[in-house]
Amino acid sequence: MKRDPPADTREDFPHLLEIQTRWADNDAYGHVNNVVYFAYFDTIINRFLIDAGLDIHGAVIGVCVESQCRFLQSLAFPGRVEAGMRVFKLGKSSVTYQIGIFGGDGGLAALGSFTHVFVDGKSRRPVPMPASLREALEKISRAG
Amino acid sequence: MKRDPPADTREDFPHLLEIQTRWADNDAYGHVNNVVYFAYFDTIINRFLIDAGLDIHGAVIGVCVESQCRFLQSLAFPGRVEAGMRVFKLGKSSVTYQIGIFGGDGGLAALGSFTHVFVDGKSRRPVPMPASLREALEKISRAG
Amino acid sequence: MKRDPPADTREDFPHLLEIQTRWADNDAYGHVNNVVYFAYFDTIINRFLIDAGLDIHGAVIGVCVESQCRFLQSLAFPGRVEAGMRVFKLGKSSVTYQIGIFGGDGGLAALGSFTHVFVDGKSRRPVPMPASLREALEKISRAG
Amino acid sequence: MKRDPPADTREDFPHLLEIQTRWADNDAYGHVNNVVYFAYFDTIINRFLIDAGLDIHGAVIGVCVESQCRFLQSLAFPGRVEAGMRVFKLGKSSVTYQIGIFGGDGGLAALGSFTHVFVDGKSRRPVPMPASLREALEKISRAG
């Protein structure tokens, strides 16, 4: 825990989505449970992919092979939450996103990463990601 | 299942809230799981109560004593969902809401009810609901 | 709420399953959230159906058309919870279960019902339930 | 993704807990959703802490400051899942656990880590962890 805390702001994320908190997001400690942040990640990422043309009932699906999150500030229902998304690393069949979670005051509440490998839905073997998806992901890459 | 299906429309609900679907709302059958509708209920109800002045960390809390839902149409992430809320029955310390869930085409996807009893957070004994809450609930009562 | 509270005991349910509570089952009020009881229902019912031969990736799936629950006592993680299941009404393509939820002291914490209609996974039209399923359900019917 | 996959077995974890899968753990892809693994982490960790004497309604609470998971194999409801837990790093007020998730065949399905900082429930400032907790954690430390 000696690392400097990340200092990312909303401007560091080319794609933003407001996240609606739910009553059940709060755990017995009265704040959004750590697990729920990963549900936020899943939601912003999958909505982006679907909007970019991924057919979740199609032949190619995205499988999460690694995810991680640093928690910096508490959030609580019914507070306002925003998620930011950018592509950190883009491969042929895999992509690593970075996700920022911002609270109602605009401060960074959490910073996470999430790696998808695109696979054939049946064999579950890696396949190149569809071109339209790749194009959309390039537009939100860090250097993009 | 011989009863007529309900024919409520958005206009039958004085309070409406857009509900943001999440990836995890879809179950293995690719549609929003029946359990998740109750999470939608909890979210619109508790946001309404909090906006009406209920302090969820205060002395009086609302405890669900009964809930029920009829499911009429499938919903799926990332589709648009809207919830409607009205008060069906208002007692001294209890209230029964009716909740409509509408899909992206505006059709009624589910109709449910939910009864809250307000209790002392420590003794868990029923107490009269706060006057400000009662006033807010009267405004969205069916006859209101 | 003038109705008598139900007095069912564990012995009134021919099928029982211990339910493992999770940290996230507790909500901000420190007890198992009302929504989670329906997740318990889904779990005992679907495990029963799968054990009775239902292929959840097959042609016929069970769709919930109505569910309901009365909440009688609080439960909390990490407490012990047990669910009981019986068939209340068995039709050609539909079945209504009753589910009892029991706390660590063996007392009835909740009593609910849940109606499944078996449909063709593609057309979503009702179909007769598989004979093996029907046979298993008859064995846990109230009069059975 | 060029790193060798971890080769941990059940024997590498001094504390084990069977995890009961739920219907809703499966997502639209028919396998346990990545988010749910973190709910498994929360459950084995908090049960361990409570059994070791942590009072979750008391003055000191554990707050997650970082978590991470590598996903190696799919799991699915209603399959059998087991979680293993060990302490990787033990500080004065913080502890990092490693969690292994094993499928029905005993193979490693996921390997994660999770860091708790113990704080005063009101000020949310770090405090030394209770002695009884520390003792219990030492017993499941990697070298222990």
Would you place residue B144 in the very low, low, confident or very high pLDDT band (cuts 50, 70, 90)? very low
Q: What average pLDDT does chain C have?
A: 94
More confident of the two residues A121 and C102: C102
Peptide bond into C78 cis (omega under 30): yes
- Chain D residue whose CA is closest to A41: D35
C30 in Cβ contact with A28 (< 8 Å): yes
Q: D14 to each of A15, B96, D143, how far by Cα in Å?
A: 43, 49, 10
Quote the tokens at residue B114: 């939910």
CATH class of C26-139: alpha beta
Residue B123 has pLDDT above 70, yes or no: yes
Listing DSSP states for chain D in one string gives --SPPP---GGG-SEEEEE---GGGB-TTSSB-HHHHHHHHHHHHHHHHHHTT--TTSSEEEEEEEEEEEE-S---TTS-EEEEEEEEEE-SSEEEEEEEEE-TTS-EEEEEEEEEEEEETTT--B-PPPHHHHHHHHHTBTT-
Q: C27 to each of A10, A20, B63, how far by Cα in Å?
A: 30, 17, 12
Per-residue 3-state assignment (H helix, E strand, C coil) for chain B = CCCCCCCCCHHHCCEEEEECCCHHHECCCCCECHHHHHHHHHHHHHHHHHHCCCCCCCCEEEEEEEEEEEECCCCCCCCCEEEEEEEEEECCCEEEEEEEEECCCCCEEEEEEEEEEEEECCCCCECCCCHHHHHHHHHCECCC
Residues in chain A, pLDDT under 50: 1, 144
Region C75-84: mean pLDDT is 97
Across the interface, whether the CB atoms of C46 and D77 are under 8 A apart is answered yes
Region D26-38: mean pLDDT is 96
Pick from C16, C21, C23 the residue to mutate for testing the D interface (most D CBs within 10 Å).
Answer: C23
Quote the tokens at residue A73: 């500030």
Distance CA B121, CA B58 (A): 8
Across the interface, whether the CB atoms of B35 and D27 are under 8 A apart is answered no
- Chain C residue whose CA is closest to A24: C27
Q: Buried b vs exposed e over B39-66: b needs ≥16 C-beta within 10 Å?
A: bbbbbbbbbbbeebebebeeebbbbbbb
Q: How far is B64 from chain C (nearest CA, A)?
A: 7
**The pLDDT of residue B122:** 87
Domain boundaries, chain C: 26-139
Number of Cβ within a 10 Å radius of residue B75: 24
D118 in Cβ contact with D105 (< 8 Å): no
Q: How far is A103 from chain D (nearest CA, A)?
A: 16
Residue D137 has pLDDT above 70, yes or no: yes
For chain A, positions 3-62, list CB contacts with chain D under 8 A.
Answer: 28-29, 33-35, 38-39, 42, 56, 61
> pLDDT for D56-107, tens place per residue?
888 899 999 999 999 999 999 999 999 999 999 999 999 999 999 999 999 9
Region C22-45: mean pLDDT is 96
- Chain A residue whose CA is closest to C36: A24
The topology (CATH level 3) of D11-139 is Thiol Ester Dehydrase; Chain A (3.10.129)
Which helix (H) or strand (E) covers residue C89, if one does?
A: strand C81-90
Across the interface, whether the CB atoms of C117 and B1 are under 8 A apart is answered yes
The topology (CATH level 3) of A18-139 is Thiol Ester Dehydrase; Chain A (3.10.129)
Residue D144 has pLDDT above 60, yes or no: no
Single pTM value for the model: 0.95
Which residues in chain C have Cβ-Cβ distances shorter than 8 Å to B28?
56
Distance CA C64, CA C117 (A): 6
